[in-house]
Amino acid sequence: MAAFDLTAKSFGDDFLWGVAISAAQNEGAYTQDGREPSIWDTFSLRRGKIKDGSNPYTSCDFYHRYKDDLLLVKALGFKVFRFSISWPRVLPDGTGRVNKEGMAFYHRVIDECLKLGLIPYVTLYHWDLPQVLENEGGWASYRMLKWFNHFVTVCAEAFGDKVKDWIILNEPMGFVSLGYMLGMHAPGKMGLNNFLPALHNAVLAQAEGGRIIRSLVKNAHIGTCFSCSEIKPFSERTEDVEAAKRMDILLNRLPVEPLLGGGYPKEDFKLIERLEMHNKAWKYTSRMQFDFDFIGLQNYFPLVVKYNPLIPVVQASEVKAAYRKVPYTSMGWEINGESFYNIIKRFWEYEGIKEIIITESGAAFKDKMVNGVINDVERVDYFKEYLAALLKAKNEGVNIKGCFIWTLMDNFEWAEGYKSRFGLVYTDFDTRLRTIKASGYWFRDFFTAK
């Protein structure tokens, strides 16, 4: 898909442009004012789990620098600030006692957003489960819904008079598959016996969280967000085509279809059979459904797969972008605006999705500062291509209401540590000094161009 010149006005005056961060990746202050460890604080201590050997303990120090960072959001021309609430900061014991200092911090952030004319979009769960709850089984525990519902209730009652826009879960298949099946992310667990109950709990939690917000927050605008990728077979061989179908079920269909009332995909796939057998209490089926006001989509790359009998269950493996000699980011993720367009159109075909917001969009590159300037032209070209694709989908009738850029500033990028930079603003992780990149200035001009 060819990139072309466009401006924010092409999307309409009411289109929501925002930036997104998360608590675990940005806040730091991990033991300050009553906060207790999250699963990522613990996971980062395990040798070899974080590629650069780092941890999120200080990160960007958003906890102390939030006012300056929100001024950056405003100065670059964005309307929305998406951030998450740290569960171990507001409920250090996981449940029960509410930490007043933690709650006061989020009140300050929300008030500062409103003061600057920014719309706060609050994500309730962005992967930082309290370690104390993980010690009791975490997302795989039968008590998970009770813990989660309490957390949501505390947040809704505390902030619901000021925050009207809510995101329940960030990428459920992401944190469940990477954290409870593959062991690549916190808490580092592996196997279907962890994955299956964790997935079912996440599917239930997104709907339960929506119901709680609906009941407690007047005029709430409620969504939840999914990672998604267009899945393509490496060849036309039947084995590759079937492998792509299985991967599509796992990555795209499993989290969203129960939410829309379809239950788990009824396919000839042993994983689905195991999931149904594991969760025999089908009295819960109706609880998996909730009528969200919007769905958030987060697409970073398409996935090309081939049949691989050595991979358990899904029997498919990725064919890397570098091998296929197509453009890719510093993380090896294929750059493909047309695929972005395709996955948006694909999700819009689901009955029951009323509104789509791109709740994350961005790319990591090896940004370098030269004479105080970060000229990240690759990222600018990336956004030109992807925003052109987004506008095409919008102009063809997809009800796309906004796009939030990942991310405001370079931060702790999970298992990548600090080596993968996604920010519009460069973070010096020795001094915490922020420097706006060329891509940040590009967005400022994009918003003001006539």
Looking up residue 427, the CATH number of its domain turns out to be 3.20.20.80
Q: What is the Cα–Cα distance from 368 to 386, expressed in whole angstroms?
A: 23
Please write the tens of the pLDDT for every residue from 99-142. Answer: 999 999 999 999 999 999 999 999 999 999 999 999 999 999 99
Residue 348 lies in a domain: yes
| 2 within domain boundaries | no
- pLDDT at residue 38, rounded to an integer: 98
Residue 222 lies in a domain: yes
Quick count: other Cβ atoms within 10 Å of Cβ 370? 7
pLDDT of residue 276: 76
How far apart, in Å, are the Cα atoms of 106 and each of 96, 113, 166? 18, 11, 14
Whole domain around residue 145: which residue ranges? 8-448
Please compute the mean of the pLDDT values over residues 332-348 and round it to a whole number.
Answer: 98
- Average pLDDT, integer, range 168-174: 98
Q: What is the mean pLDDT of residues 393-411?
A: 98
Distances from the Cα of 32 to the Cαs of 21, 111, 285, 332, 432, in angstroms? 20, 21, 41, 36, 18
Which pLDDT score, from 0 to 100, does residue 279 have? 66
Q: Is the pTM of this model over 0.95?
A: yes
308 in a structural domain? yes
Note the pLDDT of residue 1: 44
- Render 378-413 in DSSP notation, one character per residue: HHHHHHHHHHHHHHHHHHTT--EEEEEEE-SB----
The count of structural domains within the chain is 1
Check: CB of residue 260 under 8 Å from CB of residue 226: no
Q: Does residue 5 have a pLDDT over 80?
A: no
Tens of pLDDT along 375-396? 999 999 999 999 999 999 999 9
Structural domain includes residue 54: yes
In a domain, residue 104? The reply is: yes
pLDDT 10s digits, 251-303: 999 999 999 998 899 887 888 888 877 666 545 677 999 999 999 999 999 99
Query: Which residues form the catalytic set?
Result: 171, 360
Give a yes or no: residue 3 inside a domain: no
pLDDT at 281: 52
Least confident range from 4-8, 300-304, 423-427: namely 4-8
